[in-house]
Structure 1
Amino acid sequence: MTDVKKALLSVSDKVYHYTASGATGNYIVWAEDGQNDELCGDGAVQTQNIEGTIDYYTKKEYDPAINTIQKALNQAGIAFRVNSIQREADTGYIHYEWVFSLPVEVSDGDL
C-alpha cells in the first residue's frame, strides 16, 4: 500500500489515510476496503488484489489536480477507475472518488 501513498504524495502533501479530520483546502483521503481477487499456487494464496478508494476534495471546478492524480496512479502502475463525482452541498466541495486495485504479494506482508 505504500505505492498508493507515494503516488498521492507526489501530487499533494495533504494526503490522509482513512480520515482527514480538520483538513482545509484541497485534500486527498485514501483507504483500503478489501480484496477483489487473488492468485493461488502451491495450495496457498500468492497474490491478493487489494481494493480501496481515493477521495479528492476540491472547491475548484475543472481542477487540473484530477488529471495529475490519475497520471500519478498510472505512473505507479496502480489500476483505478472513477467511481463517482459529486458536489457536496453542505461543504461546497466537489468530491471525486476513484476505486483502486493493487496486487500485493502475500509473502511481502505489505498491508
Structure 2
Amino acid sequence: MSSETTHAHDGHADDHASMSKKKIWQVAGILTMITAIEFIVALYLVPHDIIALHTANPIYIVLTLAKAFYIVAYFMHLKFERVALIYSIAVPVLFIIGLILVLTNESHHWIDLRG
C-alpha cells in the first residue's frame, strides 16, 4: 500500500472519529430545539393568531429541512463521505422532486380540461 493511500485512508478515519458522544448529544440537542420551535409555532403561535397559518407553513418546511439535514449529515454519516457520493444521492432526489412538481402541475391541467 502506498503512503498516499494510507494517508488518505487515515484522513477519512479521522472524519468518522470526530463523531464523538459529545457531537452526537450536540446534534440531538439541536434536533430537540428545532422540534421545540415547531411545537411552539404549532401549539401556541398559530392558535393564538400571533402567526398566520400561511406564514407558519414555510416555517415548518424550513425547520423540517434543517432537521433532515442534521439527520442525514450526522446520523447517516453523509457529512463524512466524499462529495461524489453526496452528489450521487442528492441529484437524483432533486430530479425526483422536480418530476413530482411537474406531474402535479400536469395533473391539474388535465383536471381543468375535464371540468
- TM-score normalised by structure 1 residue count: 0.25
Q: Decide which structure has greater helix share.
A: 2
| Structure whose CA Rg is larger | 2
- TM-score normalised by structure 2 residue count: 0.24
Q: Decide which structure has greater strand share.
A: 1
